[in-house]
Amino acid sequence: MLRRALAGNEAFLGPDHPATLTSLSNLALLLEDEGNYAAAEPLRHRDVEASERILGPEHPETLTSLNNLGHLLHCKGDYASALKYYQKTLRLREKILGRQNPDTLISLNNLAALYRDQGNYGAAEPLYRRASETADQVLGADHPNARHFRKNWDFCRSKLEG
């Protein structure tokens, strides 16, 4: 179904139309969820390239595309490449959206998760702490993201104390 939607959007709207890019991202997400990273990766790269070209390299949607590519690379175990995309996304989100923006906090959490998965709890802990404390202030302690960030921070602290 998603492949047909993408093909239809490409044929009728063109490869650079926002609806086509949404279909592209949705198909990539499905493939990622299925564990088919090899099929999803070229779609994620295409999404980033098109977003940068059409919307600009600092547009919030482009930053989401960068984050999504980093997440895919993280999931497939390409930590060095994921690190590059996560760091770039965080740097740009802090610059464009600000340090307290919910999307910036997601980028902090994602970068911390990469460090955690590499066993680098010392690098992960301050990022988790900042994401958790800022989310509590900005979103409220009961917000699902605030709870998620706090849980990740608690886990990381337990590893460091452990």
Name the residue ranges covered by the structural domains of the chain: 1-77, 97-162
Q: Look up the CATH architecture of domain 1-77.
A: Alpha Horseshoe (1.25)
Tokens 């849980």 -> residue: 151
For the chain, what is the largest distance between any 2 Cα atoms, rounded to a whole number of angstroms?
57
Task: Supply the DSSP string of 124-143, one letter for each residue.
Answer: HHHHHHHHHHHHHHHT-TTS
Q: What is the pLDDT of residues 111-147, one digit of tens each?
A: 999 999 999 999 999 999 999 999 999 999 999 999 9
- Alpha carbon 16 to its chain centroid, in Å, reads 21
Cα–Cα distance measured from residue 66 to residue 126, given in angstroms and rounded to the nearest whole number: 23
Tokens 């301050």 -> residue: 126
Fold of the CATH domain 97-162: 1.25.40
Predicted TM-score (pTM) of this structure: 0.91
- Among 20-29, 73-82, 117-126, whose mean pLDDT is lowest? 20-29
Q: Decide if 1-77 and 97-162 have a common fold.
A: yes
CA angle (86, 90, 94) in 5-degree steps = 175
